[in-house]
Amino acid sequence: MANISVIGAGTWGCGLSRVLCANGHNVLMWSPFEEEAANLRSTHIHPNLSNVVLPDTMDFTSDLEKALTDKELVVMAVASPYTRMTAEKMSRYIAPGQRVVTVTKGIEESTLKTQAEILEELLPTAVIGALSGPTHAEEVILGLPTTIVSASENREMAEYVQNVFMAPNFRVYTSPDVLGVELGGSLKNVIALAAGIAAGLGYGDNAMAALITRGIHEMVGLAGRMGASYETLYGLSGIGDLIVTCESKHSRNRKAGVLIGQGMSMQDAMKEVGQIVEGVYSAKAALTLSQKYGVNLPITNEVNKILFEGKDPGQAVMDLMTRDKKMENFVKEEELPREWKDL
């Protein structure tokens, strides 16, 4: 049994808290708002998960010092735009060697840092990890079968998080590739916006399959150039997370994309969804990274034009479809059949 705090009282934090409570751990959830913490303490029901009652053993607080003191594990579950601000406040209370695992997906636009990189900067004495995969809170909190990846450069940390969360309905794999796991979880949100836009335009399964397939190509190309393992992007935290985020009714990024495809502005779509749409915050960062590392990301480029330049979504799809002809395969030139080589 471990004493664990969950920083952030959103749906994902609630879903993971329920897993931890079921595993017998003591869980304290922190919200920056005393009213929210008091309401959760009183009802044990999150307003966006009203069909589920949180375990009686869970407690809630708005006192950050209390949330971080004498905790074997800190689960960082705030939305990505608030990671830096929250970590700065946490820094005075984090003990040397304290374990902190981020479960948030996103790239910081101003610094191009992943969530773990932000934590490493601001919490230099902590042991940092990342937990990511195809995991919608709405299913995790119901105990539906789910798989996820615990990543850390520190093997003991990765395996500790694995052991804490592992359950018959919640299978946890480990990985040393923190960068790859985090890039997969961040970049797939941008592709999911494109998938939603295509659905909003009324396009069918063919377009969806193309977006998912070419989307993973973009993710692998950029992550590989940045030093991540290609195999990571072909795993749960890459293609697995991409599939569920592009296809699921629970996906906020897909929902926002559908609304944009139907004619809403990005701002109105985000208001309608009512929760943080991480892909909007990662889109510019992904494009900047592609330029920095010299990787062509056509889908990401068009998503940025739709979101921030007001480009017509239908025209964006047409521009993708009518680009210069090219070969699909990723075959190295030396591996091409003789008749395919330039003579």
- Among the options 71, 105, 113, 188, which is catalytic? 188
Of the candidates 23, 24, 28, 25, the one whose C-alpha atom is nearest the C-alpha of residue 8 is 28
Q: Which two tokens stand for residue 190?
A: 């941008």
Is 188 labeled as catalytic in the residue annotation? yes
Q: Residues with Cβ < 8 Å from 3, sequence gap 6 or more?
A: 25, 26, 28, 70, 71, 72
The backbone region for 24, taken as left when phi is positive above 0, alpha when psi lies in -120 to 50, beta otherwise, is: left
Evaluate whether 99 touches 156 at the Cβ level (below 8 Å): no
User: What residues are annotated to the active site?
Assistant: 188
